[in-house]
Amino acid sequence: MSSNQPLLKAIVNIDAEESEAVLATVVKVEGSAYRRPGARMLILANSQAVGCISGGCLEAEVCKKAAWLTRENNIVLRRYSTGENTPFSEDIYHQIDEDSDLDGARSFGLGCNGAVSVLFERVASVGIDHVMTLLKNVYSSHSAGGVAVVIAAPKNASVIIGDRLLLDPEKRIPFWCSKGIVERSLDQQNRHDLQQTMTNKKSIHKIYEIDLGKIEVFFEYVAPPHRLIVFGAGLDAQPLVRLAKQQGWHVTVVDSRAYFARHDHFPLADKVLCH
């Protein structure tokens, strides 16, 4: 959650009618990459972005094409290659199809020698509001949440790319955000694996075999922000608080001296207490 604080602020302030805003989420990494699965970036209608999904390699391309990619389908999965002499990007549609068209092959040779799969979703699309609510609740409640998102599925399966099983910290029972009725056995497997993800506090990928083919799901452990309590509100504590807030941590400053324990001395701190 460290990089999600500015993103959450943008989500809270976003206009509910701004249908062209797009949430981009890293859902799979192959080989080397700067950010891990779960990294998010919000692209606004004016192409401005909050958050990052790489070290600067993908942001310009993603901001440029996010609205265009989701103009017909509100949810699109795209795979970016950062290796030498490989297509820079390709589209992966809602259903796996050997005849699917590929985006124009361009070799950027960014040097990471990996591949990053990014899920693009219009903020106005069905179910995305639950994801945003979950992120906000994780931050505000300081409790972890869980997300299981389908990132590959065969045609005619009971789920499609973008379908999710969510465990909001304010709800005890996971619930689906799906356009259809999820097959019972798949539902049970996903619920079990999501619970395991929460227990182990570690994001994982799982592949399920069904009669129609394979379904791949990314299980994300959404951790709450780290909490830091600083005892002593002297001048030396100010850069520490500043650095911690840059990491997205929740910071409380405590000092028994009223002159030092002042909000104007620590404007970035979440709490300043005089005890």
Distance CA 233, CA 77 (A): 47
The rounded mean pLDDT for the chain is: 84
Residue 3 has pLDDT above 70, yes or no: no
Residue 84 has pLDDT above 70, yes or no: no
> Do 41 and 87 fall within a single domain?
yes
User: Residue 38 has what pLDDT?
Assistant: 92
> Do 109 and 48 fall within a single domain?
yes
DSSP annotation of 92 reads: E
> Do 13 and 107 fall within a single domain?
yes
Looking at residue 243, its amino acid is L
> Do 118 and 23 fall within a single domain?
yes
Does residue 70 form part of some domain? yes
- Residue 117's pLDDT band (cuts 50, 70, 90): very high
User: Residue 11 has what pLDDT?
Assistant: 72
Residue 106 has pLDDT above 90, yes or no: no
Q: How far is CA 246 from CA 1, 10, 84, 233, in A?
A: 12, 16, 34, 18
> Do 43 and 58 fall within a single domain?
yes
pLDDT by residue (tens digit) across 47-69?
888 888 988 888 888 999 999 99
Residue 108 has pLDDT above 70, yes or no: no
Q: How far is CA 19 from CA 16, 43, 75, 195, in A?
A: 7, 11, 13, 33
Percent of the residues in the chain that have a pLDDT greater than 90, as a whole number: 50
Does residue 137 form part of some domain? no
Does residue 135 form part of some domain? no
User: Residue 93 has what pLDDT?
Assistant: 44
pLDDT by residue (tens digit) across 239-260?
999 999 988 889 999 999 999 9
Query: Lowest mean pLDDT: which of 11-20, 85-94, 193-202?
Result: 85-94
Does residue 46 form part of some domain? yes
Does residue 105 form part of some domain? yes
> Do 201 and 261 fall within a single domain?
no
> Which CATH number covers residue 267?
3.40.50.20
Q: Among 200, 222, 244, give the residue marking a domain's end.
A: 222
Domain count, the chain: 3
Does residue 210 form part of some domain? yes
User: Residue 76 has what pLDDT?
Assistant: 92
> Do 87 and 20 fall within a single domain?
yes
> Do 87 and 189 fall within a single domain?
no
Strand partners, 76: 120
The beta-carbon contacts of 137-143 under 8 Å, at least 24 apart in sequence, are 137/168, 137/169, 137/170, 138/1, 138/169, 138/222, 138/223, 138/224, 139/1, 139/4, 139/5, 139/8, 139/224, 139/225, 141/169, 141/170, 141/224, 142/224, 142/225, 142/227, 142/250, 143/169, 143/224
Does residue 131 form part of some domain? no
User: Residue 118 has what pLDDT?
Assistant: 94
Q: What value does the mean pLDDT take over residues 192-220? A: 95
> Do 21 and 96 fall within a single domain?
yes
User: Residue 100 has what pLDDT?
Assistant: 36
Cα Dmax for the chain: 70
- Which domain does 68 fall in, by range? 5-122
Distance CA 186, CA 209 (A): 10
> Do 199 and 162 fall within a single domain?
yes
Does residue 128 form part of some domain? no
Residue 166 has pLDDT above 90, yes or no: yes
User: Residue 4 has what pLDDT?
Assistant: 65
Q: What value does the mean pLDDT take over residues 9-21? A: 67
pLDDT by residue (tens digit) across 131-154?
888 988 888 888 999 999 999 999
User: Residue 95 has what pLDDT?
Assistant: 42
Residue 34 has pLDDT above 90, yes or no: no
Q: What value does the mean pLDDT take over residues 64-88? A: 81
- Residue 91's pLDDT band (cuts 50, 70, 90): low
> Do 231 and 208 fall within a single domain?
no
- Residue 107's pLDDT band (cuts 50, 70, 90): very low
> Do 105 and 179 fall within a single domain?
no
Distance CA 266, CA 61 (A): 37
